[in-house]
């Protein structure tokens, strides 16, 4: 989903995502996480103050801690280091970049969202209710919303340039990218999920589900974009968790719930968010960052 949101005129734009403005620095990219928020694949008109900084700090923390599990694109999230490597950037207004920018290696993106689910929620729950299956994988009968799955499952989805991403089966993924690549993406995703969910459990959080992106660099896959943030994951409070709707969360479920209740038809333009929803989201994102990185 593209938008006409202002970017830096003196930098070459590589891509404008829903949340990030990505600038082209040759073999490297500058990922600038804005305070934009998306829900149901649509950018909302109301920014969430500090969200871009929180996401950047959290993703950088995970990239640092998981690089032994799966290599990733991060070079540095320190603006001074970014300017050392690219002196041409030093003249930019630091306040617009500091804390929300990551210098990364540019990769050839696999156009697939690599979702791992340890619990039943969101589109997985909707599919299960209708069919007992999620992305082609049959699950035990009698699961409730938010139930823990017998084991984490890989449930890829397409990465649509416009409109909604679509869940696909692992066979469909294999047909799209080749069997070996599909298996590799699944293996990498499950390893990252396992590492992150173990770490989060120690912080009192459940990683209900999460989405990774990978790209190839020098013939091997690396994790790109962001990992294990409240934008790309569902974080639940482990103490309060029980099967059923509305687990206590530290992610953007609060925004989704508001939008569901608002009667919006999920087609752009999205309605603005009220002040209390915005404030609460910033608070939840901050809490998540503190819990994970402390």
Ligand X SMILES: Nc1ncnc2c1ncn2[C@@H]1O[C@H](COP(=O)(O)OP(=O)(O)OP(=O)(O)O)[C@@H](O)[C@H]1O
Whole-angstrom CA distances from 74 to 56, 64, 226 are: 11, 8, 10
Q: Which stretch binds Mg ion (CB under 5 A): 39-47, 171-179, 218-226, 263-271?
A: 218-226
Least separation in angstroms between CB 36 and Mg ion: 11
Contact present, 207 and 184 (Cβ < 8 Å): no
Q: Which of 253, 284, 285, 116 lies closest to 187 in space, CA to CA? A: 116
Q: Is the peptide bond before 219 cis (omega within 30 degrees of 0)?
A: no
Q: Which does 109 bind (CB under 5 to 8 A by kind): ligand X, Mg ion, none?
A: ligand X
Per-residue interface string for the shown chain with ligand X, residues 165-204, x marking contact by CB under 6 A: ----------------------------------------
CB 257 within 8 A of CB 165: no
Nearer to ligand X, 116 or 139 (CB): 116
Q: Which does 86 bind (CB under 5 to 8 A by kind): ligand X, Mg ion, none?
A: none
Question: What DSSP element (H or E) covers 286?
Answer: helix 275-293
**107 touches which of Mg ion, ligand X, none (CB within 5 to 8 A by kind)?**
ligand X
How far is it, in rounded angstroms, from Cα 95 to Cα 93?
6
Binding mask 224-253 for ligand X (x = CB under 6 A): xx----------------------------
Which residues lie near ligand X (CB under 6 A)?
15, 17-20, 22, 29, 31, 73, 104-107, 109, 159, 213, 215, 224-225
């Amino acid at each position: 989903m593209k938008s006409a949101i202002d970017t830096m005129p003196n930098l070459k734009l590589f891509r404008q995502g829903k949340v990030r403005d990505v600038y082209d620095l040759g073999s490297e990219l500058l990922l600038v996480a804005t305070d934009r928020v998306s829900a149901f694949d649509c950018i909302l008109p109301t920014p969430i103050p500090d969200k871009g900084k929180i996401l950047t700090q959290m993703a950088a923390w995970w990239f640092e801690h998981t690089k032994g599990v799966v290599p990733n694109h991060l070079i540095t999230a320190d603006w001074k280091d970014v300017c050392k490597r690219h002196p041409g950037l030093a003249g930019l207004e630091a306040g617009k970049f500091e804390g929300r920018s990551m210098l990364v290696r540019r990769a050839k993106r696999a156009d697939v969202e690599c979702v791992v689910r340890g619990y039943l929620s969101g589109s997985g729950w909707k599919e299960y209710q209708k069919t007992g299956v999620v992305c082609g994988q049959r699950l035990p009968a009698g699961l409730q919303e938010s139930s823990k799955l017998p084991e984490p499952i890989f449930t890829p989805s397409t990465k649509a340039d416009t409109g909604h991403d679509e869940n696909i089966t692992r066979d469909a993924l294999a047909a799209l990218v080749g069997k070996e690549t599909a298996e590799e993406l699944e293996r990498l995703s499950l390893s990252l999920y396992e590492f992150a969910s173990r770490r989060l459990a120690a912080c009192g959080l459940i990683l209900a589900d999460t989405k990774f992106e990978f790209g190839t660099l020098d013939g091997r896959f690396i994790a790109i974009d962001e990992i294990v943030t409240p934008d790309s994951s569902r974080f639940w409070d482990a103490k309060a968790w029980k099967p059923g709707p509305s687990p206590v969360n530290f992610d953007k479920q609060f925004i989704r719930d508001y939008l569901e209740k608002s009667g919006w038809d999920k087609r752009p333009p999205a309605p603005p968010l009220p002040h209390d929803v915005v404030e609460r989201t910033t608070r939840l994102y901050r809490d998540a960052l503190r819990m994970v990185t402390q």
